Chain A
């Protein structure tokens, strides 16, 4: 009831569930202007398992694939299986080890690149040709999603940066200035001012738990400071024990008093909860927070805007974490490789389906192709109308600051990043500082040793 009421208040023409239900029921025709040649019909039968992260967009993609199946493989049904973010690594590894992987996986670039370097994925260069090599939005390259030794292994699903979400009503009330101009000191001072002047509200929130979200949040700070885990240009030698890592860890420690006390166990969901329920005025997060707020807390939605991250005072960098989420096809124990490849091309060449994909959780999943990003239909969404600057920051303006552990500071693909996240090395390093009160210098050394172990144990991935 509440969410329906809120959608009406917000003037949303349609809810997320309705989007999915409507698509399944009506089988909206896809525009096939860019579609490649159709193959002979597949006579295979069964369920094609597709893994995706939680969220309606995986369901939209699978709906498109089922539309392809209805025409070309009537015996097949694509089914989405949502894997919780924090469980994705373990779920992937155990199912791959058990030789029953899904037929298609939507996953973030660090894990995709590990699988790619392990030789577990099927190359997709011919698919890229059919999808359109020149379609990518400005500022990105195919390799950001996953290319290794001259071959492309990942097809883009979306790009997805986490940014600085700010309750502008609070910031304006306290006269804290324009968050778009802030550096780290300004962010710290704003968090402090809000914590002191707003009872029951933290100034800032990021994940500090032993989980993937903390890895991703901290990586943005590390990269803003100019630090890295590995040096891609120098045989992936560990570069973590550095003044930049110490600076980023010190900044987290300085911010901690102005975060919710429970932040030391927060992961993805808790950070969203803290923002949507008004327990924090600012947070690091992807666009999902706005989608949740629109459904559950209209005043929070209306007051929240997203900005590129505060600048590091020295480097002036505003690095974010961008998932560069892509589709990958397991090469082994996968009976549906041919069908998945065709269905993927069908979905990727349908502008309608790709717009629906983005619309299903605005502005969490950003378009990767120019024809989609520039389509007038994409802007036919209430969020685009009510928050054009925020949506454009997620979709376009963030790209100049993109980074991730899979491609640190966009200086080279890193096949070790997935293992780093599997072991929560960054999160553990942060926790050494915020829980164990270890000196940032010592924590950086501890993290560097863990990364050295990973490098030593996985030299085979480096080629």
Chain B
């Protein structure tokens, strides 16, 4: 006979999941639903009593706004290049850290530093690093004789975009490294031994053994990093405020500007809804095309 206080497995399961469901309702579902609702309203936060239903007008506004499309293309460039460099360098560094050398644990710990430090601190430090007159980057490049004139990292559209990408790659590459390194440590050594017996060199072993083993983790990492980077606000805003001009605007900055600076919360919300749809569709298509989970389905 079970004690009266014993709960069924189903109830225990529901209790365990209840905190998450509650938190998700308040902090994910409700904000998303409210953003979707607000996307159909004209809403000035200073005069909430004047809020009116405007149908699709906010969406029409953003699709007619050239700055929205500029922001979209800039976000695409910033996301694509950030992910490419994060992935390439992340895999490379993970392979270096996979070597069995003395003190490697220290390097692995240090690697997390950029990921741990708050973005606001990083961005402010990088503003100084990139300062054309007193920044360490120009000082080092000039000291090494690589440049004669200081580079205005944040003052020209192309260099500002490059600078924001560099910051993003530097800060988030450790995430890629950790994920890839964890996977590398589970790759059976027999596969490499067999490849060596077959005469495969280091490049061939990387292409035919390592990369296929990393495929699944890289797909997941790339999807997450793409979503997070495309939505990123604080790095760009803190480093360049979307400038010079609007040359480093992405859709998150565009949404913020519309919501807060322009007091068009409906337009900002509509931008967020469009971003959500774009990323959802993009992620589904990418996962389908990349064949994520095929092995499980086949088995």
Known: A93-B263, A265-B243, A423-B262. 12 other contacts (CB 8 A): A94-B260, A96-B46, A97-B45, A120-B46, A210-B246, A211-B241, A262-B132, A262-B155, A264-B155, A264-B243, A423-B257, A457-B264
Measured between C-beta atoms, what is the minimum distance from A240 to chain B in Å? 18
A64-93, CB under 8 A of B: which get 1 and which 0? 000000000000000000000000011001
**Which of the residues B152, B156, B261 comes within 8 Å of A90, measured between beta carbons?**
B261
Set of chain B residues within 8 Å of A261, measured between Cβ atoms: 132, 150, 152, 155
Residue of A nearest to B247 (CB): A435
**Does A228 belong to the interface (CB within 8 Å)?**
no
User: B141 → chain A, closest Cβ, in Å?
Assistant: 16
Q: Are the CB atoms of A262 and B245 closer together than 8 Å?
A: no
Is the pair A262, B260 in contact by a Cβ cutoff of 8 Å? no
B268 contacts the other chain (CB 8 A): no
Interfacial residues of chain B within 116-142, with CB under 8 A of chain A in the complex: 132-133
> What are 5 A-B contacts with C-beta separation under 8 Å?
A90-B260, A210-B244, A265-B155, A423-B261, A436-B245
Cross-chain contact B155 with A210 (CB below 8 angstroms): no
Residues of B within 8 A of A457 (CB): 264
B34 CB to closest chain A CB (Å) equals 14
Q: Would A118 and B46 be within 8 Å (CB), given that A93-B260, A262-B132, A435-B245 are in contact?
A: yes
Q: Which of A89, A96, A209 contacts B261 (CB 8 A)?
A: A89
For the complex, is B297 an interface residue (Cβ under 8 Å from A)? no
Determine if A209 and B243 form an interchain contact, defined as CB atoms under 8 angstroms apart: yes
Contact residues in A for B257 (Cβ distance below 8 Å): 423
Residue B90 at the A interface, CB < 8 A?
no
Interface locus among A6-14, A311-319, A355-363, A424-432: A424-432
Q: Cα distance A196–B292 when bound, in Å?
A: 62
Whether a CB of chain A sits under 8 angstroms from the CB of B270 is no
From B50, B133, B150, B262, contact of A422 by CB (8 A) = B262
By secondary structure, the B interface counts as loop
Q: Once the chains are docked, how many angstroms separate the CA of A210 from the CA of B241?
A: 8
**Are A435's CB and B262's CB within 8 A?**
no
B212 to chain A, nearest CB (A): 46
Q: Does A298 contact B (CB under 8 A)?
A: no
Task: Please report which residues of chain A, range 338-359, place their CB below 8 angstroms from some CB of chain B when the two chains form the complex.
Answer: none
Q: Any chain A CB within 8 A of the CB of B154?
A: yes
Interface residues of B in 151-185 (CB under 8 A from A): 152, 154-157
Q: Which of B242, B243, B264 has the most CB of A within 10 A?
A: B243
A210 to B264, CA, bound (A): 19
Give the bracket for the number of chain A residues in contact with chain B: 20 to 34
Interchain CB contact under 8 A, B46 and A264: no
- Tell me, rounded to whole Å, the shortest Cβ–Cβ distance linking B62 to chain A: 14
Docked-complex contact A422 and B155, CB < 8 angstroms: no
Instruction: Mark contacts of A203-247 with chain B using CB atoms, 8 A cut-off: 1 yes-contact digit, 0 otherwise.
Output: 000000111000000000000000000000000000000000000
Q: Tell me whether B47 is interfacial, beta carbon within 8 Å.
A: yes
Q: How many residues of B contact A (CB 8 A)?
A: 26
Whether A419 sits at the interface, judged by CB under 8 Å, is yes
Q: How far is the CA of A428 from the CA of B67 in the complex (A)?
A: 12
- Choose one: A89, A96, A209; the contact of B244 (CB below 8 Å): A209
Residue of chain A at shortest CB distance from B263: A93
Q: A16 an interface residue at 8 Å Cβ cutoff?
A: no
For B262, what are the chain A residues with a Cβ–Cβ distance below 8 Å? 419, 422-423
**B150 surroundings in chain A (CB, below 8 A):** 261
- Nearest B residue to A267 via CB reads B241
> Contacts of A460 on B, CB cut-off 8 Å?
47, 50
What CA separation (Å) do A232 and B65 show in the bound complex? 28
| Chain B residues, CB < 8 A from A279 | 133
B46 contacts which of A97, A209, A211 (Cβ < 8 Å)? A97
CB distance from A101 to the nearest CB of B (A): 11
Are A424 and B152 also in contact (CB < 8 A) when A209-B243, A210-B243 are? Answer: no
Chain A residue nearest to B151 in the complex (CB)? A261
Given contacts A262-B132, A423-B262, contact A432 B245 (CB under 8 A): yes
Chain B residues in 8 Å Cβ range of A96: 45-46
Q: Assess whether A424 is in contact with B155, with CB atoms less than 8 Å apart.
A: no
Q: Report which residue of A89, A419, A435 has the largest number of chain B beta carbons within 10 angstroms of its beta carbon.
A: A435
| A146 CA to B262 CA, complexed, in Å | 22
Q: Which residues of B contact A94 (CB under 8 A)?
A: 45, 260
A51 → chain B, closest Cβ, in Å? 16
B113 CB to nearest chain A CB (Å)? 28
Report the minimal beta-carbon distance from B182 to chain A, rounded to whole angstroms: 40
In the bound complex, CA of A345 to CA of B257 (Å): 38
Closest residue of chain B to A97 (Cβ to Cβ) is B45
Give residues 243-272 of B contacting A (CB, 8 Å): 243-247, 257, 260-264
A435 touches B244 (CB 8 A): yes
Say yes or no: A265-B154 contact (C-beta < 8 A), given A210-B244, A431-B245, A432-B245.
yes
Give CA–CA (A94, B45) in the complex, Å.
8
Cα(A36)–Cα(B148), bound, Å: 66
Q: Which residues of A contact B247 (CB under 8 A)?
A: 435
Smallest CB–CB gap between B280 and chain A, Å?
A: 29
- How many Å lie between the Cα of A94 and that of B97 in the bound state? 46
Write the nearest CB–CB distance from B134 to chain A, whole angstroms.
Answer: 9
List, in ascending order, chain A residues with CB within 8 A of B246's CB: 210, 428
Residues in B neighbouring A209, C-beta threshold 8 A: 243-244
Separation of A423 and B261 alpha carbons in the complex (Å): 5
**Chain B residues numbered 80-103 whose CB sits less than 8 Å from any CB in chain A:** none
Give Cα A27 to B263, complex, Å. Answer: 42
| List of A residues within 8 angstroms of B263 by Cβ | 93, 419, 422
Q: How far is the CB of A64 from chain B (nearest CB, A)?
A: 30
Tell me the residues in window 411-455 of chain A with beta carbons closer than 8 Å to chain B beta carbons.
419, 422-424, 428, 431-432, 435-436
- Rounded to whole angstroms, the CA-CA distance of A262 and B50 in the bound complex is 42
Q: Which of A209, A210, A265, A279 has the most CB of B within 10 A?
A: A265
Please report the C-alpha to C-alpha distance between residue A150 and residue B243 in the assembled complex, in whole angstroms.
41
Q: Which residues of B contact A432 (CB under 8 A)?
A: 245
